[in-house]
Every structure is written in C-alpha cells, then in structure tokens.
C-alpha cells in the first residue's frame, strides 16, 4: 500500500525459516513475541461470498502454511492501494493492472518469496499463478489478485503455488480467518485480525480484515500486506474512495523504521452477498457514514497491530502535531519525530528527552518558530516558549514515557494544521533481527 516516506517495511532472517514452528502461532525461533501483542485475537465471523483456504506449499518455509487463497462470489468489487516504491514487485504491478477492471474472484497470497526484483521471469511467475487460479475458479486472470512477501530477487517457484490451488479452491470455507492471517505471516510474532459490524441504511453488514507486518528471509525485506473483505454491496469506485480516504490516518500514518517495502499492498473486497441494502454510488452518501467509520476504525486497528509488532518494539508511540502551517506540514513534522532514531532510542530507554524532539522538529524543514513551540509527553508539558517549561517535572515526564504506550504532543503554534502518526521504539532487538549474519 502507499505509505509514502513513512513505512512499515521490515526484514528478517533466513535462519528463522528453518527453525519456524509447525504452527506459526508463535514467532519464529529467536523472535520473542512482541510484548505489545493483543491479549486475545478477534474471532472473525464467516463472511458471505468469501471462501478461504490455506496450504503448506513449501515455497520457502517448511512445516507451516505459506499460501492463502480466497475465492470470492461473482461480481465481487475490489479497490486497492500499493507501495509507492519505484521498484515495486511483480504482484503489485499485476494488481495495479487488475484493479482497472474493478472485479475480483480470487486472491492468492504467498509468504516466503516476494517475487520482487525478479525481472520478466517474475512477472511471468505472477501471471502463471493468476492464470492457474483463474482456471480453477472459472474467471478471468485479471480477476485474480496476488501478493507475495519474503525473499527479494529469487525467482518465484510458481509451480509450488499453482499445484495447490485446485485443492484450495475446493476446500475453501467461509471461516478460517485465523488460519488465513497465520499463512501470510513472515517475521510477524502474532497474526493480525480485526472485524466490525456496520449498518448501511439499516442493514447490517460485516467487515473482516487480516494483515501482516514484519517480513522475512534474507536477502529480503518485510512487507505490509492487508486484505479487507465486506459482504456489503458497493461498487469498486466507492470502495476505492473509501480506501484511499481510510488509509491516510491508518496505514499511511504508521512507520517502524522509515523504510518502504517493494510489496506493500492493501486490498478491499466487497462481495455484495451480506445484505440487501439499497445501491449506493457515491462514497460520500450519508447512508455510508457508519460503514465508513467502522472501516476506518478497522484499518487503524490493523495498522496499529502492525506497529505493535514492529521488529524489536516494546512500546507504541503516538505523535500528535497541531498548530502547523498545514496538515501536510504537520505530517512531515510528525514523521520526522517518528523516524528519528534519537527520539526512538530515548523512548526505548524511558528517557523524557525532549531536546531530541526539538531537534527532530527542527530538522523537518517545515515552518516552525522556536519561541512558539510547545512539547508534552502525555499531559506533562516539558518545553514551551523557546525553553524548558517552568512546569517541567523530570519525575513526571519520565513516568509519562515509561509505559508501553507513549504520547508525544507537539504544538507548533503557528497555524491550524494537524496530524497524528504512530511508531514504535527502537531497541537492540531491531538491530539483532536485522543485523544478524546471514547463514
């Protein structure tokens, strides 16, 4: 998906693969489960018009599922947003083309191989998977959507995937969301799921979503993938408007390490099989207000699950910038803070180091006035009017950054622009995961 400069790309170790547990409910060997993992996982209800199945195809991992197939009812509408990387993967290119038709009948996702920077052979591999899926589903290849996550630069072993598609299409069931979320994991330390019920003009519809963050397998990088399904009856154009709007304050407002994957993909499918609500042709139709709100919440929920599973993360950090010259300017400042290694290491060390926040604001290059800048950790004001706040209380400020959820509040005091972004702290765990010797 399009994450701009702030991104959730992450990476992992080849070594992890061979040590992966049979059921990927725990993190790969060597990756302790994030302390920010949810206490329990959302139970996603069946969703009319979607059948899911997973397989252990051995794309790269052994003894775990690595292919997800979702078969959707005829007429399913689709929207998507993708990485802005100039070196995007073959599946991303395939999906961009497929989106023009607006209809989807199948989604095939594999973990273990990103099919990125694999040249023409990579695109042929993607096409082979799509053609094969189309044959078993009985649809056009362009109605098959693809995502791959894992090693970069290695040819996709397409036949390992195509040979399981027939049985996956047969097995598919309306349940199995947890298994689906697990099959797309790489170095994720927990599966990411969310569900919501919404009303459209008095008719109940369901939204289910799964996502993955941290990626894996050297030489490689992680990828942010998210797939959201609803049984609402909405045309592709409306879905695209909702998704493009909903992604801004969620997946486009998170960053783990400022790196952007070649493969980031967020797709939204609407089967139209869940309710007989009236036809809706505009995203700003008032009858969509509840659906839009619930979709936005679900996207943010999934995005935060990705942040909270950032490599080495021990804390979630929220950054609120207000009083900026514009919303864009506020976001630039917020991302400068969120991506500052000095800020992130300070928070990791429970250090109320507001000087580093001043530095990050200053380096963002956006309009700012030192003497109007105000900085707080939670509700503890630490700096204002160009100097340390007279209200500064070191012990209270330290407490404010010592929990597992930290809020940095910055008021630039010069305009009305505002932005909120999330990140995680930067710990030695990040270095260990990403700097380990390839073997």
By C-alpha distance, which of 397, 416, 394 is closest to 407? Answer: 397
What tokens were used for 152?
A: 């970069």
Residues of span 228-257 touching a copy of itself by CB under 8 A: 257
Q: How far is the CB of 225 from a copy of itself (least distance, A)?
A: 15
Q: Under the criterion CB under 8 A, does residue 5 sit at the interface with a copy of itself? A: yes
d(CA 325, CA 331): 11
Q: Among the candidate windows 43-51, 164-172, 195-203, 381-389, which touches a copy of itself by CB under 8 A? A: 381-389
Q: How far is the CB of 132 from a copy of itself (least distance, A)?
A: 22
Q: Under the criterion CB under 8 A, does residue 413 sit at the interface with a copy of itself? A: no
Q: How far is the CB of 282 from a copy of itself (least distance, A)?
A: 32
Helices of type H across 172-218: 177-183
Residue 410 bridge partners (DSSP):
321, 375
Is 169 in contact with 136 (CB distance < 8 Å)?
Answer: yes
Task: Label the pairing between strands 254-255 and 265-270.
Answer: unpaired
Is 406 in contact with 316 (CB distance < 8 Å)?
Answer: yes
Q: How far is the CB of 217 from a copy of itself (least distance, A)?
A: 10
What tokens were used for 419?
A: 């932005």
Q: Is 223 a catalytic residue?
A: yes
Q: How far is the CB of 327 from a copy of itself (least distance, A)?
A: 18
Number of residues that bind a copy of itself (CB under 8 A): 80
Q: Under the criterion CB under 8 A, does residue 35 sit at the interface with a copy of itself? A: no
Considering only 85, 195, 240, 380, the residue that binds a copy of itself (CB under 8 A) is 85
The one catalytic residue among 186, 223, 260, 271: 223
Considering only 47, 334, 348, 410, the residue that binds a copy of itself (CB under 8 A) is 348
Considering only 1, 2, 8, 11, the residue that binds a copy of itself (CB under 8 A) is 11
Contacts of 223 (CB under 8 A, 6+ apart): 9, 114, 147, 149, 186, 212, 215, 261, 262, 263, 264, 265
Considering only 220, 296, 407, 411, the residue that binds a copy of itself (CB under 8 A) is 220
Q: Under the criterion CB under 8 A, does residue 316 sit at the interface with a copy of itself? A: no
Residue 113 phi, psi dihedral angles, 5° rounding: -150, 125
d(CA 181, CA 231): 19
**Which residues does the annotation mark as catalytic?**
223
């Amino acid at each position: 998906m399009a994450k701009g400069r702030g991104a959730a790309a992450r990476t992992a170790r080849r070594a992890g693969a061979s040590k992966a547990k049979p059921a990927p409910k725990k993190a790969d060997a060597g990756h302790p489960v994030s302390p920010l993992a949810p206490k329990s996982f959302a139970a996603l209800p069946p969703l009319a018009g979607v059948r899911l199945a997973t397989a252990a195809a051995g794309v790269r991992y052994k003894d775990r599922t690595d292919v997800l197939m979702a078969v959707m009812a005829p007429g399913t509408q689709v929207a998507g947003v993708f990485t802005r990387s100039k070196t995007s993967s073959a599946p991303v290119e395939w999906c961009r083309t497929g989106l023009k038709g607006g209809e989807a009948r199948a989604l095939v996702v594999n973990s273990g191989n990103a099919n990125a920077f694999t040249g023409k052979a990579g695109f042929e591999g993607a096409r082979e998977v799509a053609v094969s899926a189309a044959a078993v589903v009985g649809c056009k290849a362009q109605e098959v959507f693809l995502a791959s996550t894992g090693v970069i630069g290695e040819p996709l072993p397409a036949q390992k995937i195509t040979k399981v598609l027939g049985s996956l299409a047969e097995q598919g069931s309306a349940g199995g969301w947890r298994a689906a979320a697990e099959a797309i994991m790489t170095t994720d330390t927990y599966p990411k799921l969310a569900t919501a019920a919404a009303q459209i003009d008095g008719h109940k519809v369901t939204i289910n979503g799964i996502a993955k963050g941290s990626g894996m397998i050297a030489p490689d990088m992680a990828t942010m993938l998210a797939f959201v399904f609803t049984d609402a009856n909405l045309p592709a154009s409306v879905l695209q408007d909702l998704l493009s709007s909903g992604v801004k304050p969620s997946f486009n407002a998170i960053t783990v390490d400022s790196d952007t994957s070649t493969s980031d993909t967020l797709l939204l499918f609407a089967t139209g099989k869940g309710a007989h609500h009236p036809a809706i042709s505009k995203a700003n139709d008032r009858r969509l207000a509840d659906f839009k709100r619930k979709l936005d919440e679900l996207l943010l929920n999934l995005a935060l699950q990705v942040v909270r599973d950032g490599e080495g993360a021990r804390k979630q950090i929220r950054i609120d910038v207000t009083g900026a010259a514009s919303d864009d300017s506020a976001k630039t400042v917020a991302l400068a803070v969120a991506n500052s290694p000095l800020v992130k290491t300070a928070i990791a060390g429970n250090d109320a180091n507001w000087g580093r926040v001043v530095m990050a604001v200053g380096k963002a290059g956006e309009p700012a006035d030192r003497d109007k800048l105000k900085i707080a950790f939670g509700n503890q004001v630490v700096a204002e009017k160009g100097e340390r706040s007279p209200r500064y209380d070191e012990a209270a400020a330290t407490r404010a950054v010592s929990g597992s959820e930290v809020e940095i509040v910055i008021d630039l005091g010069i305009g009305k622009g505002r932005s909120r972004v999330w990140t995680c702290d930067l710990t030695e765990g990040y270095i260990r995961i990403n700097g380990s010797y390839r073997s």
